[in-house]
Chains A and B, each alone.
Chain A
Amino acid sequence: MRTSLNDIRETERYLGNELPPEDKLVFEARLLTEPTLRANTFVQYRIRALIRLYHRKKMKDSIESIHQRMFNDPAEKTFALQVHQYFKPTT
């Protein structure tokens, strides 16, 4: 594997807290002395946050499709009416 990919793997293990203590120390020492590795580690950390957001978006999409079915499918009419009932203005 290319050196750059090896660094990515090492950074993944660092961010995932999977490095044994001695390797972690070595990695942290490299972070102090290698600005590019430091910058890349920060970006890799940010990628995880981005993928988390992406994952949430995907979950929301599948929840929305369940919602659409529950409130549009005639077979679920009883359920839909029950829920809408709560929001009827009381007279």
Chain B
Amino acid sequence: MEMPVMTIEQTRPARQELSETLYKNAFPAVARFISKMGGSFNEAKDIFHDALVIYWEKTADPEFVLPRSAEAYILGIARHLWVKKFRQDTMKVSLESWERDIAVPPDDETPDTLKLLGFLENTGRRCMDLLRAFYYQNLSMTAITGRFGYGSERSTTVQKYKCIEKIRETIKQKSARYEDFLE
């Protein structure tokens, strides 16, 4: 099984990474907040998991400066997400300004996109994993070359472009909308 947690810890050991320890330290405060708002265990779990993903994405950026402890920041994201989810209840929670200012990435899970993603996961998982390593896992070229077992960094680069080409052709075939962009 793939172990993304390990990889990220290896790349940037200084920051507290997604781990069981972080899970244990951060979840109780989020759960207490959601329960106070009248939410269920499952709602707390969903909001917490979304908050962890956002935390993980943000801290992957080397420029990002964590404004609070990891636990406090994750709770801030969760509070922000909760308010966003139930706008009508905003009176009950007053977000601090740093919490309001957390940029929450848009949810781009349209049915078409998910269908395409499902198809690509079945037909080109290796390419998806390779591009993921390049774009979102902060891995060095050497690390990617080693992990995917290509002979040289040059082969890895060429493989990256071939993967983009392959996925691009799949998207063209699957997406009627592509025609709109040839105009």
Cβ A84 vs Cβ B41 within 8 A: yes
A38 to B18, CA, bound (A): 39
Instruction: List the B side residues contacting A57 at CB < 8 Å.
Output: 117
A7 to chain B: closest CB distance in Å?
9
Cβ B171 vs Cβ A46 within 8 A: yes
Count of inter-chain pairs, beta carbons less than 8 A: 123
A10 to chain B: closest CB distance in Å?
10
A62 to B19, CA, bound (A): 10
Cβ B113 vs Cβ A53 within 8 A: yes
Instruction: List the B side residues contacting A60 at CB < 8 Å.
Output: 49, 53
Interface status of A33 (Cβ within 8 A of chain B): no
Cβ B135 vs Cβ A52 within 8 A: yes
Question: How many B residues, CB 8 Å from partner?
Answer: 51
Instruction: List the B side residues contacting A70 at CB < 8 Å.
Output: 20, 23-24, 27
A74 to B117, CA, bound (A): 36
Q: Which residues of B contact A (CB under 8 A)?
A: 2, 4-5, 18-20, 23-24, 27-28, 31-32, 34-35, 40-41, 44-45, 49, 52-53, 56-57, 108-109, 113-114, 116-117, 120-121, 128, 131-132, 135-137, 157-158, 161-162, 164-165, 167-168, 171-172, 178, 181-183
Question: How many A residues, CB 8 Å from partner?
Answer: 43
Instruction: List the A side residues contacting B167 at CB < 8 Å.
Output: 47, 50
Cβ A8 vs Cβ B128 within 8 A: no
A43's contact among B45, B131, B171, by CB below 8 Å, is which? B171
A90 to chain B: closest CB distance in Å?
10
Instruction: List the B side residues contacting A64 at CB < 8 Å.
Output: 49
Q: Which residues of A contact B (CB under 8 A)?
A: 1, 4-5, 8-9, 12, 35-36, 38-40, 42-44, 46-60, 62-64, 66-67, 69-70, 76, 79, 82-84, 86-87
A47-B168, A50-B120 known; A5-B162 Cβ under 8 A: yes
A56 to B55, CA, bound (A): 11
Cβ A47 vs Cβ B164 within 8 A: yes
The residue among A49, A67, A87 with the most chain B CB atoms within 10 A of its own CB is A87
Cβ B23 vs Cβ A5 within 8 A: no
Instruction: List the A side residues contacting B109 at CB < 8 Å.
Output: 53
